[in-house]
Structure 1
Amino acid sequence: MARELVYTGFMSLDGVLDSPGGTVEGHRSGGWVMETEFVPEAFSLKGEELADTTALLFGRRSYEAFAPIWRDSEDHAAYKDLPKYVVSTTLSDDDLLDGWGETTILRSTEDVDKLKQSDGGALYIHGSAELARTLSDADLIDRYNLLVFPVLLGAGKSLFSHTDRPKQQLSLRDSASYANGVVKLVYEVVR
């Protein structure tokens, strides 16, 4: 049985994923998640994911943004010893961050597909909008865990491409809405 590949992310109501935690990725409205009232239960999905994650998958830019912060973050301490995979055609082993556990560079969508066919549990993609679009178009993502925030950003990186591709049906696995306007949407890809 193939490993489940899960995309998890924060999304604006108009579908933008760009720079939810800060301006490090360059979006003019970076940090938009922090501008929404904090309601702990709205983030319970993140705790559930932490318990389910057996490996992390990143695109190059998200790896470079998250690795230095998450390596030393108590909130992400459980990720330290998990295997990490970075999909990049430009990174070398010398570019990988020391002290954040085993990290492997994958070079292609085919490499991600091979990883999915290997033994192990769920693989989680954090951030990595460009990678998520590529893997979605290749029909490799099995589930979308989304926290949709009540903000319109107008422009930025989106989760889904506008590539003309066959329809992909989704099944709602879980949903909830919270007092701060955040909506949890968990969709499984129907195959």
Structure 2
Amino acid sequence: MARELVWTGFVTLDGVMDSPGGDVEGHPGGGWVFRTPFEEAAFALKGEELADTGALLFGRRSYQAFAPFWSQSADHAAYQDLPKYVLSTTLGEQDLVGGWGETTILRSVDDVAALKQTDGGGIFVHGSGEVARSLADAGLIDRYNLLVFPVLLGEGKSIFSRSNQAEQRLTLRESEAYGNGVVKAVYDVVR
């Protein structure tokens, strides 16, 4: 049985995931998560995911943004011992963050497909919009754990392909709305 591959993250109502915590990637609307009133319950999904997480998968840019911070963060201590994978054609071993546990560089979507066939828990993709689109286009994403924010940006990076493609159906696994307008939407990909 294949391991479940899950994309998890924050998106705007119009599907933009670009720079939710700041303007690191240069999006003029970056930082929209922090401009939404904080409600602890709205972020409970992130803690709940840990029980299902057997490994973390990042694209190069997301790895380079998250790894230096998460490797030192008490809030992300549970990630310390999880295997980590980075899908990149350019990253070298010398670019990996030391002291953050086992990290393996994957070079292709086929490598991710092979990883899904190994033993272990779910593989969770954080951020990594371009990687998410590539994995979805290859039919490898099994679930989307979304926290949808009441924000419209109009443009920016999306995890969802904007090209004309065959319809992909999803089944709602669970949802919940919070007082700050954030909606949790967990969808399984229908195969």
> TM-score, normalized by length of structure 1?
0.98
Greater share of helix: 1
Give, in angstroms, the shift of residue 109 of structure 1.
0.5
- Contact kept, 8 Å, 1:56 with 1:123, in 2: the verdict is yes
> Which moved further from structure 2: 149-158 or 163-172?
163-172
Residue 23 of structure 1 aligns to a residue in which SS? Answer: coil
Q: Indicate yes or no: 2:9 matched with 1:4.
A: no
**Structure 2 counterpart of 1:52:** 52
**Structure 2 counterpart of 1:178:** 178
**Quick one: which amino acid aligns to residue 90 of structure 1?**
T
Whole-angstrom distance in 2 between the partners of 1:81 and 1:165: 38
> Which moved further from structure 2: 101-110 or 156-165?
156-165
Residue correspondence of structure 1 range 15-94 to structure 2 within 5 A: 15-94=15-94
**Structure 1 counterpart of 2:129:** 129
Q: Indicate yes or no: 2:101 matched with 1:101.
A: yes
> Which moved further from structure 2: 65-74 or 156-165?
156-165
- Contact kept, 8 Å, 1:53 with 1:123, in 2: the verdict is yes
Whole-angstrom distance in 2 between the partners of 1:155 and 1:168: 22
**Quick one: which amino acid aligns to residue 72 of structure 2?**
D
**Quick one: which amino acid aligns to residue 30 of structure 1?**
G
**Quick one: which amino acid aligns to residue 165 of structure 2?**
R
Whole-angstrom distance in 2 between the partners of 1:99 and 1:19: 26
Give, in angstroms, the shift of residue 153 of structure 1.
1.3
Give, in angstroms, the shift of residue 162 of structure 1.
2.1
**Structure 2 counterpart of 1:149:** 149
**Quick one: which amino acid aligns to residue 145 of structure 1?**
N
Residue 33 of structure 1 aligns to a residue in which SS? Answer: coil
C-alpha distance after superposition, 1:86-131 (max 9, x if no partner): 0000001011111111100000000000000111110000000000
**Quick one: which amino acid aligns to residue 35 of structure 1?**
R
Give, in angstroms, the shift of residue 137 of structure 1.
0.6
Residue 91 of structure 1 aligns to a residue in which SS? Answer: coil
- Aligned-pair identity in percent equals 70
**Structure 2 counterpart of 1:168:** 168
> TM-score, normalized by length of structure 2?
0.98
**Structure 1 counterpart of 2:158:** 158
Whole-angstrom distance in 1 between the partners of 2:28 and 2:103: 31
- Contact kept, 8 Å, 1:14 with 1:153, in 2: the verdict is yes
C-alpha distance after superposition, 1:125-155 (max 9, x if no partner): 0000000000001100000000000111121
Whole-angstrom distance in 2 between the partners of 1:189 and 1:106: 24
Give, in angstroms, the shift of residue 165 of structure 1.
2.6
- Contact kept, 8 Å, 1:25 with 1:65, in 2: the verdict is no
Equivalenced residue count is 191
Give, in angstroms, the shift of residue 163 of structure 1.
2.7
Q: Indicate yes or no: 2:187 matched with 1:187.
A: yes
